[in-house]
Amino acid sequence: MPGQRCATCVVRTRRLKVMNLYMVRHGQTAASRDNRFSGSSDPPLTPAGEAMARSFARAYASLQWEAIYTSPMLRTRQTSAPLCELTGMQATVEDGLKEISYGEWEGLEQADVKSRWPEAFEYWAADVASRGTPGGETAFHVAARAMGVIERIRSRHDAGNVLIVSHKATLRVITCALLGLDVRLFRDRIAQPVAAVTMFVVTNKTAQLTIFGDRSHLSEELRNQEGT
């Protein structure tokens, strides 16, 4: 009858569980400040980066967290540490959340690489999904390992708030994959500044983007720091 819900519909509604998947990029490092290739290299947070991590923790500590996952890199573990301290939780390290490796270009400024090896840079930049830097990874490699982590998280946590602390390229690739965008577009279509928060509402069938690149938890001074 109109205005009534069948018993089957009620059961289905009750069974629908929602996970809020939060993703935050680590705070500022010297490499992010200077726009250097930094994937497998492991710089620590700068003092500004540490302040970003504390600001994030204060803003998000009141949420009931089901789990916190982080890449094994120092900069992500330092970013998750203040939140873990405030909540009493322990972060789970996942190798699949590491940043893309830049091989021989690690630690170099992008402008310097483009100036010294213009043909190699343009060749890589034309298709970063299937072409890695010399000795580095491709975005397709990152997508395979990172989305493996996402699937494990979805299988472990079908409801509640889950946090991932990872890296610029990795989070851009994950965002593309969850939105159904071509991974080749991750550099052109997805921004991910330091300490930015993105959130997907995830069910067993869908992933809906609800927060993207939010940095309202940072002071104006921290938001205006140099770098990427």
How confident is the model at residue 15, as a pLDDT?
58
Q: Do 100 and 169 touch, CB atoms closer than 8 A?
A: yes
How confident is the model at residue 227, as a pLDDT?
83
Confidence (pTM): 0.90
How confident is the model at residue 2, as a pLDDT?
43
How confident is the model at residue 27, as a pLDDT?
98
Low-confidence ranges of the chain (pLDDT < 50): 1-14
From CA 199, how far away is CA 220, in angstroms rounded?
22
In the chain, what are the domain boundaries? 16-102+139-223
| Domain boundaries 16-102+139-223, corresponding CATH code | 3.40.50.1240
Q: Do 84 and 105 touch, CB atoms closer than 8 A?
A: no
From CA 52, how far away is CA 197, in angstroms rounded?
12
